[in-house]
A = this chain, B = another copy of it.
Amino acid sequence: DIGLLVCQQGAQAAAVFTTNKIVSAAVDVCRANVKSRKIKAVVVNSGIANACTGKKGLKNAEQMCKNTAGAVGTNAENVLVASTGVIGRQLEMGKILPGIESAHKALSDSAQAGLNFAKAIMTTDTKPKQAVTSVKIGKSSVTIAGAVKGAGMIGPNMATTLCFLTTDADISKPLLKRALAEAIGQSLNRLTVDGHQSTNDTAIILASAQAGNTPIRKADRNYNKFAKALGLLCQDLTRQMALDAEGATRMFKVVVKGAASNAQAHKAARAVADYPLVKCAINGGDPNWGRIICAVGSCSVKFNPAKLSCKLGPVTVFRNGSPVKFDHKKAAAIVASKEHTITIDLGVGKGNDFCFGCDMSKEYVEINADYHT
């Protein structure tokens, strides 16, 4: 339940955090330390969130950095920290500190070590979630790798998500920050499992500059290549998360177009993706488009009732405000598939946006009724 990432030569780092107003002590400490120009380690614990834990919690988060710094041979402010688990309980430092020691001794650059890290950060996740990609920048191949955890308490803008990304790219801190924000904005920040953000959500990227690539110092073609590769990697991790969400059996993407603005499109997409009755219908493999339209109608976005339309995959089920005869069997098969797209046209403008969601199953309730404090 302790994960440790080490970059002996020091790395540029960037991070994005939860927008919940109540944050874990780990987020407070991480927000401060990410400003350092030489991040040498990231330490993570799972099991206890270290949120709503007052001054003692803050001290404990700082102690985690201190002990990690001691093991790695650097100062505490060059260490990032993240926690995930139950809110309101203090970390058991008698277990955490020896855990950091053991994790440091087990450090390795093997694939197995990467997998172990992905496993260490799991809570109610059922499987480790990792991805790796590479992209040519100038004459060098740059690698980007990531591990992610997150299963419930996932609203757009992350929730109990922890996401750790590493790359050997040589890239400036401001551009690294920008690429991360763009990538997360189109992936983790577009996923909702139960509509709420946790106190701990954190996505961190470390860039070690070991690839020997043409240094990325401005938003040019090389930057775009890097940013695109990072974006696709984050979408891959997001898909893995949606399909491993608590009790989830399938995922879906809600695309809203024809909105008065992109923000309105996002609001509608999220209302549909968050609506328990839509999520339950998808769990039952039921093309229950009435619940989709109902969610759109109740989320206070502007639409034209005479132009409102909806498609399940390629199948139009509602057009210009009226139901359409459709092949029920075909639509049911689409809804029952591993991943499908719901497209809604609000018929009033050019705004568009999307949101990822997953179905809601009996297991979701089981997990969250039994996950005791």
Contact of A51 with B by CB under 8 A: yes
**A153-B294, A296-B22 known; A281-B365 Cβ under 8 A:** no
Q: Is the CB of A277 within 8 A of B373?
A: no
Residue of B nearest to A301 (CB): B21
Pick the contact of A196: B277, B303, B323, B367 (CB < 8 A).
B277
Query: Does A297 belong to the interface (CB within 8 Å)?
Result: yes
Q: Which of A165-222 contact B (CB under 8 A)?
A: 194-199
CB proximity to B under 8 Å, residues A348-365: 360-362, 364-365
Number of A residues contacting the other chain (C-beta, 8 Å)?
64
Among the interface residues A86, A291, A300, which one has the most CB atoms of the partner chain B within 10 A?
Answer: A291
- Please name the residue on chain B nearest to A300 by beta carbon: B21
Tell me, in angstroms, the Cα distance from A51 to B288 when the chains sit together.
Answer: 13
- A residues 21-36 near B (Cβ < 8 Å) are 21-23
Nearest to A193 among chain B residues (CB) is: B276
Give the residue name and chain of the B residue nearest to A21 (CB): B297
Known: A194-B276, A194-B277. A88 touches B293 (CB 8 A): yes
Chain B residues, CB < 8 A from A361: 365, 369
Interface centre among A88, A275, A289, A295 (most CB of B within 10 A): A88
Q: Counting CB contacts under 8 A, is A329 at the interface? A: no
Task: Give the chain B neighbours of A286 by CB distance below 8 A.
Answer: 369, 371-373
Give every chain B residue within 8 A of A314 (Cβ-Cβ). none
Residue among B49, B54, B291, B365 making CB contact with A280, cutoff 8 Å: B365
- Flag if A365 contacts B297 (CB, 8 Å): no
Which residues on B sit within 8 Å (CB–CB) of A155? 298
State whether B86 touches A290 (Cβ < 8 A): yes
Measured in the bound complex, the distance between the Cα atoms of B196 and A280 in whole Å is: 14
Give the residues in chain B near A367, CB-CB below 8 Å.
Answer: 280
Q: In the complex, A180→B30 CA distance in Å?
A: 53
Contacts of A303 in B (CB 8 A): 21
Residue pair B88, A289 in contact (C-beta under 8 Å): yes
Measured CA separation A370–B369 after assembly (Å): 21
List residues of A (17-62) whose CB comes within 8 Å of B's CBs.
19-23, 49, 51-54
Docked CA distance A79–B161 (Å): 54
Told that A22-B293, A51-B294, A153-B277 touch, could you supply 20 new A-B pairs with CB distance under 8 A? A19-B298, A20-B297, A22-B294, A22-B305, A53-B322, A54-B321, A54-B322, A86-B290, A87-B291, A88-B290, A152-B277, A194-B275, A197-B294, A280-B364, A280-B365, A284-B372, A290-B373, A360-B365, A361-B369, A364-B365
4 closest A-B pairs by CB: A87-B290, A284-B369, A22-B297, A280-B368
